[in-house]
């Protein structure tokens, strides 16, 4: 019996297919990244192979492991249909805020409509909203401000008719700076809310 251990880089996409024989497809993700898959024997026997080639098909059988490129024919019809049924990849949005406030900066006002449309087009969307601040102010105030910013974005989405139960909001204060700075530095890039729509 063959076991498969998937060691995936953060951006990898892996599709396993169990047809008339065991096989494995390793496909790059939408960003072109990839991971790897270790094929192991059962009962702790040594690794038979590590598959690292993107766009490859690996046959798993008694005679061993054989990996080859997908080639010009690409995916089989059933595999392509399965991929076509997958949800769209996650999409990220960044909204920026005025210093010390929960008001969106002018450059982010237009992005709200794009965000709302993206959520509306996904049935049962999962929306993760994370607020951030720059390093001006103390930790407690920045934690509170970052959460208020995230909740402000949630309020805008709910007012557009989106379901609040599909969304979560957290504040990270100044702990995850996009642009590292010293303490007490004003920085518009760090005053943001990041939204991930899945």
As a whole number of angstroms, the distance between CA 18 and CA 9 comes to 23
Mean pLDDT, to the nearest integer, of 19-40?
74
Are 22 and 4 a contacting pair, CB within 8 Å?
no
As a whole number of angstroms, the distance between CA 148 and CA 143 comes to 9
Higher pLDDT, 19 or 84: 84
The predicted pLDDT at position 43 comes to: 63
**Dmax of the chain from CA atoms?**
65
As a whole number of angstroms, the distance between CA 78 and CA 83 comes to 9
As a whole number of angstroms, the distance between CA 61 and CA 8 comes to 23
> Under 8 Å CB-to-CB from 5, ≥6 apart: which residues?
37, 38, 39, 40
pLDDT tens sequence across 110-164: 999 999 999 999 988 999 999 999 999 999 999 999 999 999 999 999 998 999 9
Residue 94 in tokens: 């960044």
pLDDT tens sequence across 72-125: 778 888 888 887 888 888 999 999 999 999 999 999 999 999 999 999 999 889
| Backbone φ and ψ of 11, nearest 5° | -105, 10
What domains can you pick out in the chain, each with its CATH number? 2-84 (no CATH), 91-197 (3.30.1330.60)
Higher pLDDT, 134 or 41: 134
């Amino acid at each position: 019996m063959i076991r498969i251990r998937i060691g995936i880089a953060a951006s990898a996409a892996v599709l396993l297919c169990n047809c008339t024989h065991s096989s494995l497809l390793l496909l790059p993700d939408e960003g072109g990244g990839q991971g790897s898959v270790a094929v192991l024997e059962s009962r702790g026997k040594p690794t038979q192979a590590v598959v690292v080639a993107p766009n490859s098909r690996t046959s798993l059988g008694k005679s061993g492991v054989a990996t080859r490129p997908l080639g010009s024919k690409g995916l089989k019809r059933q595999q392509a249909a399965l991929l076509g049924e997958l949800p769209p990849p996650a999409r990220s949005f960044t909204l920026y805020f005025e210093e010390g406030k929960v008001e969106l900066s002018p450059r982010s006002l237009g992005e709200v409509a794009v965000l709302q449309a993206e959520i509306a087009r996904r049935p049962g969307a999962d929306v993760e909203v994370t607020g951030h601040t720059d390093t001006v102010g103390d930790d407690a105030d920045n934690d509170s401000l970052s959460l208020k910013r995230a909740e402000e974005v949630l309020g805008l989405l709910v007012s557009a008719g989106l379901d609040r139960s599909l969304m979560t909001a957290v504040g990270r204060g100044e702990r995850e700076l996009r642009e590292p700075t010293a303490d007490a530095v004003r920085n518009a890039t760090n005053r943001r809310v990041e939204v991930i729509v899945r």
